[in-house]
Amino acid sequence: MKKLLWAFIVAGLLLPSMAAAQFVLEYPDGELQISGRIRPAFAYRFYQEGDYNHKKNRFYVHQARIKLEGEMFDVFEYELQIEVRGYDDGEIGKDLYLEYKPVSTFMIRAGQFKVPYSRTRMVSTSKLAFTTRPAVADEFVPGRDRGVMVRFRTSDRKYVLYAGAFAGNGDNTKNDDRLGRPLYAVRVEAAPLGKIPKTEGDIEMTPSPRFLVGLNVAYSDDAGPTEEDYPRTICGRKNLFGGDFTFKYSGFYFKFEANFAKLQSFESLEPPTLGANSYYAGGFLVAASYYIPSLKIEPVIQYDQFDPMTHKLGSYSNSVQRTITFGMNYLPFGHDFKIMANYFKRLPYPGGDHQWKEDELRIIAQLMIG
């Protein structure tokens, strides 16, 4: 383990100049920027004595992406982001969209991109304070999907409204969409003291206190998964609602987010007929970090819990999944190159001593190119 840690540190000393590299092609009608990121990783899972799993200790590549983005004719912007790891249970195409932005306060986007729901989900993986997102802000909420979205914002970017309609079978749904019904999502954000960038942590050392409040809702009729995929989707109706609060000031970062859903199964699909019973799912997360600029380190801590099914909103069943995450980030070049180490402490199910999942140690090195 010590050798592994030293390997990541040495990589940080050898690769600083690559992070600042810029690859931009300019032409009469616009420009094209080529960039990407790679995230080699190591994971150790603390299985009980006698348990066996071939992924107990493993090196892997968390992400390896190439991104092409640019603008045309001063009013069009585009992005093509491709995952190139060579193994993935999802699609290799990530963000694939075209934007029309005639003025700074209005934009319409079409293609494949993140559904505007949950700040934790909308922040890029490369700008997270943790190595991964918890289920309540990842698997449970919409991910990337194909559709159209409009965004309205004030000129100072303090207030933002997103609204979109999507196919409803994106990378966090994975169904065949036999009903052919769209997913609708709306999100509003308010940062009255000044805009906050879409990053976690506060390595920017925000000079004055700033906070952001976000509220979002989504609605979809799902025809059921084609693989074992709950809690991402069900064969039925899903009403999602949630909110988040983000605070940054002088290196200190705090976040709270909650997401819940009311789910009602279909008894039949032709025509769609809802069953009598409905249930809820969801949970929340609380996270904090503090960036120490003299050492370029950022201690982080997070508590999250997710309940896949309860019959009363606001209460939790005996199957609630709870995790405390302790971490340390070393950011010698900010998010362009950083080393992240997280220890996931899985707590027992309420009323028992059985953990919902084994503890895990995860270390990731991230290099941004371009």
Report yes or no: 255 and 200 within 8 Å, Cβ to Cβ. Answer: yes
DSSP class of 16: H
Helix (H) or strand (E) holding 333: strand 332-335
SS3 call for 119: helix
pLDDT in tens, 117-138: 999 999 999 999 999 999 999 8
The pLDDT of residue 17 = 39
Give me the mean pLDDT over the 67-93 stretch: 84
User: Is pLDDT at 197 greater than 80 in this prediction?
Assistant: yes
Give me the mean pLDDT over the 87-95 stretch: 69
Q: What are the structural domains, with CATH classification, of the chain?
A: 2-369 (2.40.160.10)
Whose tokens are 């107990």? That residue is: 56
Q: How confident is the model at residue 42 (pLDDT cuts 50, 70, 90)?
A: very high
Partnered with residue 342 across adjacent β-strands are 327, 362
User: Is pLDDT at 256 greater than 70 in this prediction?
Assistant: yes
Enter the pTM of the model. 0.88
| Distance of alpha carbon 276 from alpha carbon 207, whole angstroms | 54
Report yes or no: 360 and 344 within 8 Å, Cβ to Cβ. Answer: yes
